[in-house]
């Protein structure tokens, strides 16, 4: 407790803007933080560092409250208190906020605000310093009198105050030892004074002024207490405590400076809380805990930091849906219709979901496997999860797990931690308000791990039907029954899902869409949804299917429909502006085009309803004329196409071939480029390749070297030893993306065969397959996604390993019609198919060109 500060504060301080209460040096205050600026400050300065004590804050009082979240910084009180945060307690109820316990160190004044966002930082000047204490004799004398007078009142008042209040007891103990100049601030915060009075004391930079201003406050308090002691006679010893606490409040009430309402409201809230606990249907164990906690709460002074913590806890406990659930309405026929209405294609997924629901209906329990939808982004995994909830009549809640690497994200923090909160599962239950929602655990493949424990292990307990009826969140510290919750997971790949979790889930693959499917999805679902979101009607905008195809092929390159949806959104926004402006014209948005068509428009208008035309603008058309989105309009709105058919261009030189790759985002075509130069037989590989891919490159070169004579392949010096005085460089473009896996083997061989033969690889062929040193072609995964990628890129032929032939069955009919497939079991067959007129010199030409 010292207001005249021997400490040196930094010259720059982050500012905490408060609008209630005034923190004075040497005192402690509880303040609630909920504005965006203050929340940012707490998160980045107090919760990130190792110790709270290492950050000094500048607390600025009297900031207008609502404006504190506005864009511009509100006018700031010039003088503030440098402070340390002693405790931070977080809560999400009724909105995210923190309660800080802060201790004032010394006054400072703002010299200039250096930064306003995300929270203000100011250059400051420290005001309270020991050396400030008067050093002229006269002043010391004057102050000596003042300080004696002040001290006399201070002793008298402290004697009268209630000793059961910890701050009073401490003050009485330390009164003699505290520096005299620190007392005005400390006493002003202990006695009940208004914020205005506290602010005046804070602004009183000179010590003399402070003594002068505090004395009347002490006298007022002493008089009030005397008056009260006369009017109220304590009956028993016990009552003394109550009375001793109350006089301060009563008297200040008489003097009109204090508001009792806050505390009364708090007391009302506690009564309400107690009532809610009594009437809540929580299990016995939870009820017992609540009763115990509310008893503690009632005894706690509100200034104790634990008060807020306990109250938040109890509020969460009564809010949780311990016994509240929705009634399932499971009608398989209705479910089928709903799934079909909401989603085009995805037959396999819909079938499996219906089976799952049917079994649940018959068995009437939830102890089945957890479904996990695995597929590229934007193929509708989340949206199917939402439909499942809709068919069951259940609440839906999505829990994003991407990047979660702390198990307390799932299971909550213990309440003893600073800023403790419940985990995402309990928070989700509070949000939906029922105990049987559908929880979509999004992106289980992106769970991380850290020193704070493994979140996957916590999820195991959540998902295990044998354990989850007793799930204990660390914050709640009592069991919550999760057995009624229906969990569905989604992921982009199974490769990174922790094995134990994978074991508990049934994986349903959701592959990417073909162009035709995307067009259907766009016209049946995405466009109507976007129109509705933008307040447009089908009469106002017309997007023909050719335009949709243009968006798909020239503005997006994806397995799902997320980008397509975004582009459609951009188009609708542009049209909404035009409609709102009343400038209906055919989507060619440039004026010259409109003028060109003017004659034709006049003609239409004469035949129709001339009165509906605006006379004021030559651009006006009848309102019912839809805005047509053709390719020109597309360019106006979305800019020039992002993807042009570059394939044939890139294959215009020997040493380039197209491979097919599988990524968690779906299939992709991948160019492989090779060049040779004089050297010493070195092989350089670039493009962020993994070990397996590097080995494929070595295998390919060895195979070609051993077969160079057979194919008449020579280096620049005419030697069949291809690496003789020659270096080779192989590059896999998109150099920033890491690539691995054996399936590029056939592409590397083809690319090098092209380089050394000087022949061009066919520009409409893509291939995939693992190779062996003996020239065999082995099967690979992801065939369906790879074939769809080749189709998207407009290629005509796909070479796959023969043993993958069975995978072609899952390919949609129209894609099979557009593509021809070559199934190869050895590299001879691959090369024959990849080069026009075949490649083999001494063997039979390729034979397996089968159109499926």
- Decide if residue 553 touches ligand ATP (CB under 6 A): no
Task: Please pick, from the candidates 383, 653, 714, 843, the single residue that binds ligand ATP as defined by CB under 6 A.
Answer: 383
According to the binding rule CB under 6 A, does residue 518 interact with ligand ATP?
no
Closest CA to 576 of 566, 584, 567: 584
Q: Choose which of 30, 210, 350, 381 interacts with ligand ATP (CB under 6 A).
A: 381
Among 24, 521, 634, 830, contact with ligand ATP (rule: CB under 6 A): 521
525 binds ligand ATP (CB under 6 A): yes
Q: Would you give the binding string for ligand ATP spanning residues 479-508, x where CB under 6 A is met? A: -----------x------------------
Was 448 annotated as part of a binding site? no
**What's the rounded Cα separation, in Å, for the pair 229 and 171?**
22
Tell me how far apart the alpha carbons of residues 726 and 684 are, in angstroms, rounded to a whole number: 12
Draw the binding track, 394-413, toward ligand ATP (x: CB under 6 A; -: no contact). --------------------
Cβ neighbours, 10 Å, residue 442:
19
Burial of 364 per CB tally in 10 Å (0-12, 13-18, 19+) = exposed
Tokens representing 517 are: 């499917």
- Candidate ranges 195-203, 313-321, 558-566, 834-842; the one touching ligand ATP (CB under 6 A): 558-566
- Residue 786 annotated as catalytic: yes
Pick from 83, 168, 309, 379 the residue near ligand ATP by CB under 6 A. 379
| CB distance 820 to 799 below 8 Å | no
Closest distance between ligand ATP and the C-beta of residue 379, in Å?
4
Contacts to ligand ATP from residues 559-598, by CB under 6 A: 560-562, 565
Closer Cβ to ligand ATP, 80 or 380, answer by number: 380
Helix, strand, or coil here: 47?
Answer: coil
Kindly state whether residue 380 participates in binding ligand ATP, applying the rule CB under 6 A.
yes
Cβ-based burial of 773 (10 A; exposed 0-12, middle 13-18, buried ≥19): exposed
Q: Among 106-114, 291-299, 337-345, 637-645, which window interacts with ligand ATP (CB under 6 A)? A: 337-345
743 is catalytic: yes
Q: Does 556 bind ligand ATP (CB under 6 A)?
A: no
104 lines the binding site for ligand ATP (CB under 6 A) = no
456 lines the binding site for ligand ATP (CB under 6 A)? no
CB-nearer residue toward ligand ATP: 560 or 626: 560
Distances in whole angstroms, Cα of residue 611 to Cα of each of 318, 349, 751, 842: 64, 54, 68, 81
Q: Is 430 helix (H, G, I), strand (E, B) or coil?
A: helix
Chosen residue from 188, 189, 382, 556 binding ligand ATP by CB under 6 A: 382
How many residues in the chain?
852
Phi and psi torsions of 463, nearest 5°: -85, -15
Cα 263 versus chain centre, distance: 38
Which lies closer to ligand ATP via its Cβ, residue 561 or residue 699? 561
User: Do residues 493 and 374 touch, judged by C-beta distance below 8 A?
Assistant: yes
Pick the closer one to ligand ATP by CB: 321 or 428: 428
671 binds ligand ATP (CB under 6 A): no
User: CB of 833 within 8 A of CB of 847?
Assistant: no
Interface with ligand ATP, residue 168, by CB under 6 A: no
Q: Which of 91, 147, 189, 743 is catalytic?
A: 743
318 is in an annotated binding site: no
Provide the greatest CA pair distance for the chain: 122
Q: Which is nearer to ligand ATP, 344 or 475 (CB)?
A: 344
**What is the separation, in whole angstroms, between the first and last Cα of the chain?**
87
Site for ligand ATP, residues 300 to 319, rule: CB under 6 A: none
Looking at beta carbons only, is 305 or 667 nearer to ligand ATP?
A: 667
**C-alpha 542, offset from chain centre:** 35
> Could you tell me if 849 and 825 are in contact, meaning their C-beta atoms sit under 8 angstroms apart?
no
Rg of the chain, C-alpha, whole Å: 38
Dihedrals phi, psi of 51, to nearest 5 degrees: -135, 140
Nearer to ligand ATP, 119 or 344 (CB): 344
- Is 511 near ligand ATP (CB under 6 A)? no
Whichever of 444 and 613 has its CB closer to ligand ATP, that residue is: 444
Q: Which stretch binds ligand ATP (CB under 6 A): 325-333, 375-383, 625-633, 779-787?
A: 375-383
Query: C-beta of 791: minimal distance to ligand ATP in Å?
Result: 17
**Residue 628 near residue 587, CB atoms below 8 Å:** yes
C-alpha 571/C-alpha 565 separation (Å) is 10
Q: How far apart are CA 384 and CA 489, in angstroms?
A: 11
Residue set of the binding site for ATP: 375-382
| Residues taking part in catalysis | 743, 786
Annotated binding site: 375-382
Which residues contact ligand ATP by CB under 6 A? 343-346, 377-383, 442, 490, 521, 525, 560-562, 565
């Amino acid at each position: 407790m010292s207001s005249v500060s021997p400490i040196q504060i930094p010259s720059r301080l982050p500012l905490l803007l408060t609008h209630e209460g005034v923190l004075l040096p040497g005192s402690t205050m509880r303040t609630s933080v909920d504005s965006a600026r203050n929340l940012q400050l707490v998160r980045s300065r107090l919760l990130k560092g190792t110790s709270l004590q290492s950050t000094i804050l500048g607390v600025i009082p009297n900031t207008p409250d609502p404006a504190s979240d506005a864009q511009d910084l509100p006018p700031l009180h010039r003088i503030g208190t440098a402070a340390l945060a002693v405790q931070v307690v977080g809560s999400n109820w009724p909105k995210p906020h923190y309660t800080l316990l802060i201790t004032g160190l010394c006054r400072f004044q703002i010299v200039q605000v250096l930064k306003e966002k995300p929270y203000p930082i100011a250059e400051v000047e420290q005001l309270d310093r020991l050396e400030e204490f008067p050093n002229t004799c006269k002043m010391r004398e004057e102050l000596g009198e003042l300080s004696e007078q002040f001290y006399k009142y201070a002793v008298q008042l402290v004697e009268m105050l209630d000793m059961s209040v910890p701050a009073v007891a401490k003050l009485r103990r330390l009164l003699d030892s505290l520096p005299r100049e620190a007392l005005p601030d400390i006493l002003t915060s202990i006695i009940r004074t208004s914020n205005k009075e506290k602010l005046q004391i804070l602004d009183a930079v000179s010590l003399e002024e402070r003594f002068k201003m505090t004395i009347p406050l002490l006298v007022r308090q002493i008089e009030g207490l005397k008056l009260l002691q006369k009017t109220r006679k304590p009956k028993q010893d016990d009552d003394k405590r109550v009375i001793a606490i109350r006089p301060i409040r009563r008297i200040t009430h008489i003097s009109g400076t204090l508001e009792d309402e806050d505390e009364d409201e708090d007391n009302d809230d506690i009564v309400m809380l107690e009532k809610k606990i009594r009437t809540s249907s929580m299990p016995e164990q939870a009820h017992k805990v609540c009763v115990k906690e509310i008893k503690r709460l009632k005894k706690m002074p509100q200034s104790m930091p634990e008060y807020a913590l306990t109250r938040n806890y109890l509020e969460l406990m009564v809010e949780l849906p311990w016994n509240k659930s929705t009634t399932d309405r499971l009608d398989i026929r209705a479910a089928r219709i709903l799934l079909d209405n909401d989603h085009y294609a995805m037959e396999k997924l819909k079938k499996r979901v219906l089976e799952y629901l049917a079994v649940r209906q018959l068995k009437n329990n939830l102890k089945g496997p957890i479904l996990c939808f695995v597929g590229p982004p934007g193929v509708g995994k989340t949206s199917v999860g939402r439909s499942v909830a809709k068919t069951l009549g259940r609440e839906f809640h999505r829990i994003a797990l991407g990047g979660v690497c702390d198990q307390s994200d799932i299971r909550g923090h213990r309440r003893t931690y600073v800023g403790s909160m419940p985990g995402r599962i309990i928070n989700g239950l509070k949000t939906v308000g029922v105990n049987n929602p559908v929880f979509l655990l999004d992106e289980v493949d992106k769970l991380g791990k850290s020193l704070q424990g493994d979140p996957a292990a916590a999820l195991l307990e959540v998902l295990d039907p044998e354990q989850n009826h007793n799930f204990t969140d660390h914050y709640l510290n009592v069991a919550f029954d999760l057995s009624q919750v229906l969990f569905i997971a989604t992921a982009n790949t199974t490769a990174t899902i922790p094995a134990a979790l994978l074991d508990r889930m049934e994986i349903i693959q959701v592959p990417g869409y073909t162009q035709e499917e995307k067009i259907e999805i766009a016209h049946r679902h995405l466009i109507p949804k976007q129109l509705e979101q933008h307040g447009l009607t089908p009469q106002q905008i017309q997007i023909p299917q050719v335009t949709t195809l243009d968006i798909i092929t020239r503005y997006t390159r994806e397995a799902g429909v997320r980008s397509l949806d975004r582009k459609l959104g951009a188009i609708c926004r542009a049209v909404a502006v035009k409609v709102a402006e009343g400038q209906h014209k055919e989507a060619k948005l440039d004026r010259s085009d409109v003028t060109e068509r003017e004659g034709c428009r006049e003609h239409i208008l004469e035949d129709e309803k001339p009165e509906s035309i605006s006379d004021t603008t030559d651009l006006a058309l009848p309102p019912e004329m839809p805005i047509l989105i053709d390719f020109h309009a597309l360019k106006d709105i979305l800019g020039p196409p992002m993807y042009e058919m570059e394939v044939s261009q890139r294959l215009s030189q020997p040493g380039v071939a197209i491979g097919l790759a599988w990524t968690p985002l779906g299939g992709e075509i991948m160019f492989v480029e090779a060049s040779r130069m004089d050297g010493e037989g070195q092989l350089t590989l670039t493009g962020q390749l993994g070990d397996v891919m590097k080995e494929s490159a070595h295998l390919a070169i060895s195979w070609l070297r051993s077969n160079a004579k057979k194919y008449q392949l020579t280096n620049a010096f005419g030697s069949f030893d291809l690496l003789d005085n020659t270096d080779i460089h192989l590059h896999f473009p998109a150099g920033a993306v890491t690539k691995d896996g054996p399936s590029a083997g056939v592409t590397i061989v083809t690319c090098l065969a092209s380089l050394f033969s000087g022949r061009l690889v066919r520009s409409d062929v893509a291939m995939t397959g693992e190779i062996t040193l003996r020239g065999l072609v082995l099967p690979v995964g992801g065939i369906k996604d790879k074939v769809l990628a080749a189709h998207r890129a407009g290629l005509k032929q796909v070479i796959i390993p023969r043993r993958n032939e069975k995978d072609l069955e899952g390919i949609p009919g129209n894609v099979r019609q557009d593509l021809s497939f070559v199934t190869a079991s050895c590299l001879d067959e691959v090369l024959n198919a990849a080069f026009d007129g075949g490649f083999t010199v001494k063997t039979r030409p390729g034979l397996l060109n089968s159109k499926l």
